[in-house]
Amino acid sequence: MSDPAPNEPKPEEPRGFLDKIGAALPIALTALATVFASMSNGALQEAMYWKSQAAQDQSKSTNQWTLAGFKRDRALIMQTTAAQMRATCGYAEPFFLSPSAPEAVKARAWLTERGDKGGPPPVKLPDIDDAAIKELREALEQREPETELLKKARKVDMAKINKAIDDAEKFNEQTDKDWDPILKAAAVLARAQPVIKDGDPDAAKKAARATASQAAGFDLEERRYRAESRLN
């Protein structure tokens, strides 16, 4: 047998599995790392979103508590002012003009009536029907441990709690609209002064009644601020 020619190429040796995928492996690993990085980045962004949302909710809650405290403080100021004015005028009967407009008639009733009949009328936020929200609210009122609160909070449907908050805000807005014309009319009645002429023997009595009417106006403001603080 003759020897092979010196320039004849040698047959290629069979390549193993790693050799075959060697060029594609780095590309595949890079693509996989990119997918994992994208998933991690997405989870981080979602966590940042919910953390930001939680901070906004807490800020809103703090604002409502602050506003409620401010209104309760204003109620105490109105109550103190009314008591001082009543003492100054010797607890005289207030003087109010006879109103004709419906708002003014109701305003006079709010100023003069006492007890449960006095205005503004009692107000209450819309009832919440969702059992999970009720359970969580009761747990908060009873100051249960935070771990238990978190377990019960997970059961709450976000859409339902947002609806409850929206309903409460709409109720507050409607209450303000309903009360506004009556409160304005009451302020006009409380500031009205009887006609006092020179030499009028009842001048001191009329002045005392005018002061008493202003005290009644402060009493009404005290009840209004207390009602609004409870709503907040």
> How open is the CA angle 225-126-227, to the nearest 5 degrees?
10
Query: What is the residue type of 117?
Result: K
- Look up the pTM and report it: 0.71
Written as one letter, the residue type at 163 is K
Q: Helix, strand or coil for residue 111?
A: helix
Interval 172-191: pLDDT, tens: 999 999 999 999 999 999 88
CB atoms within 10 A of CB 213: 25
Q: Tell me, what's the pLDDT at 36?
A: 83
Residue keyed to tokens 């009329």? 206
Asked whether residue 3 carries a pLDDT value surpassing 60, the answer given is no
CA atoms of 222 and 82, how far apart (whole Å): 9
**What does R_g of the chain's alpha carbons equal in angstroms?**
38
**Which of 224, 209, 217 lies closest to 190, judged by CA?**
217
Chain-centre distance for alpha carbon 59: 10
